Chain A
Amino acid sequence: MSKLSFFLGCIAPNRYPGIEAATIKTLEKLGIELVDLKGASCCPAPGVFRSFDKITWLSLASRNVTLSEEMGLDILTVCNGCFGSLVDANNIMKEDPKLKEEVNKILKEIGHEFKGTIEVRHIIEYLSQEVGVEKIKAAVTIPMDLNIALHYGCHLVKPSKERHLGSTENPRFFDELVEATGATSVDYEDKMACCGAGGGARTAVLDTSLQMVMNKLEHMKAAGVDCIIDACPFCHLQFDVGQTEIKKKFNKVYDIPVVHYSQLLGLAMGLPLSELGINQNLIVNEEFNKKIERIRGGANE
């Protein structure tokens, strides 16, 4: 059994705990044990912290990394923002001895030291590279015959010099994981476009940020999908909460359910719907629920 520490971040545990629960249960079925990363904090949010003060961002991110170093485990994240912060910080600390020294002086005062002994992984690239599509296919008990709009999100694949995951304009690896669950990843216009939430934009200029996600929702709707699949709780929030905000502010209704990949995997592995938290979203679409029930039969209970 492989073992990783589970870095929760903020939005998954504190807004969409279904993503956390689904991740633990589905990875267990794939022979991966997730250990609590006790005492971890905000990654910290790159949009604000990295903009505000690089040393603060680097130190706090490095503290999170050292918690996992102390357990001798690589970190798993389920969020593109956390992934971006932690991978970038981990790389900078490994490659820049001067910054490492400066940050380690700070960490020493709180009883930690960055050593550079572990890697930071994102659930999607980890499943794709370490587990593989075939093993996931074999673990699927109920092929989820859904048409989905896949949203990679930006920081999973970019900046590509740091991520090494191939094409950023036309990647395939996440689509392959989706297809392993029996779903069809439908092509839609400007599929790799940003959800509009990152960089502190959602916090600073909400209306403009919502217009960006509206562009995406329009394209997804035009493709006639059953739901959105994402791999980041912040994109997830932008799609889910965003749809209710858009309804209020711009009087537009999309009603597209938002599902994290771990939750899709949970559906396809026959986990009880109630443990996956999909209906804890603000957008609850009855038609979608009926379709899932039809596909899964008794497994829904």
Chain B
Amino acid sequence: MSDIIKTSDFDMEFRDEVFKEPDADKITLCFNCTGCTSGCPMAELEPEYNIRKFLRMANLGMKDALLNSPYLWYCTTCYKCQERCPQGVKNVDTLLKIRTIAIQNGIMHDNHRKVSQLVIKLGHAVPINDEAKEKRKDVGLDDTPPTVHKFEDALGEVQKLLKITGFDKLVVDKEETS
């Protein structure tokens, strides 16, 4: 991204959309103390990752630059920034809202898509396998946990819920959508 910010890059509808998240508008109270970024473990590893800059960009409505930044997906949601912010900015909650808007715009990591599809299919993001069944027996447990893995009706409920909310369509394979 270039260092010059053009007003034509500002999309106020995007900003309004971000502000629909409760208290996301607190980013307007940010006084640039850099407390959030200076404690961020991801900023330590990736200098390009800057939560303060992201939130400032959201406040300016810089939709395209923000949604297309690969760093949007680097946050581990450790909440250190949000804990430290003296202005009560909801750093993490606001970032998650920006991610939601990215998802709605079709920007999604393939691996995230796969995890989501596993939950739709099996009700677990990390499902059982044969090796785990053996491990369960070895520690004296039933080979299948008493979750959706054991109760088909329950899995049906989860699948129905994910249809009602439209989640199944949201994470469908790209080829299938076109």
Contact = CB atoms under 8 A, between A and B. Distances in A.
Interface stretch (A31-39, A141-149, A178-186): A31-39
B100 interface: yes
19 contacts: A14-B126, A14-B127, A14-B132, A17-B135, A21-B140, A36-B146, A39-B148, A44-B119, A110-B157, A154-B79, A154-B80, A194-B80, A197-B76, A198-B78, A201-B42, A204-B73, A211-B45, A215-B44, A280-B138
B53 to A, nearest CB: 18
Contacts of B26: none
Given A56-B165, A199-B77, A201-B74, A109 B160 contact: yes
Interface in B35-56: 41-42, 44-46
A276 B135 CA distance: 11
A84 to B, nearest CB: 8
Interface string A10-47: 11011101101100000000000000111111101111
A160 to B, nearest CB: 6
B167 A212 contact: no
Interface string B98-140: 0110010000110110011001000111111100100110111
Given A21-B141, A39-B154, A41-B154, A109 B164 contact: yes
Nearest to A105: B164
A10 B82 contact: no
B31 interface: no
A208 interface: yes
Interface string A240-251: 000000000000
Given A14-B129, A36-B146, A204-B112, A53 B165 contact: yes
A269 interface: no
Interface of A: 8, 10-11, 13-15, 17-18, 20-21, 36-42, 44-56, 59-60, 63, 106-107, 109-112, 154-155, 158-160, 168-169, 193-194, 196-201, 203-205, 208-209, 211-212, 215, 274-277, 280
Interface size class of chain B, counting residues whose CB lies under 8 Å from the partner chain:
35 or more
B112 A200 contact: yes
A110 B160 contact: yes
A13 B149 CA distance: 10
Nearest to B128: A14
B147 A13 contact: yes
A22 B60 CA distance: 51
A15 B126 contact: yes
A196 B155 CA distance: 30
Nearest to A195: B76
B148 A59 contact: no
B170 interface: yes
Given A48-B116, A52-B171, A106-B165, A208 B78 contact: no
**Residue of A55, A106, A205 with highest tally of chain B CB at under 10 A:** A205
B13 interface: no
B17 interface: no
A106 B164 contact: yes
A250 to B, nearest CB: 13
B109 to A, nearest CB: 4
Given A154-B77, A212-B42, A8 B147 contact: yes
A3 to B, nearest CB: 16
A63 B161 contact: yes
Nearest to B127: A14
Contact of A17 (B136, B157, B158): B136
Interface in B136-178: 136, 138-141, 145-151, 153-155, 157-158, 160-162, 164-167, 170-171
Interface in B12-33: none
A49 B117 CA distance: 11
B161 A60 contact: yes
Contacts of B170: 52-53, 56
A48 B115 contact: yes
A58 to B, nearest CB: 9
Contact of B147 (A39, A51, A159, A276): A39
B21 to A, nearest CB: 8
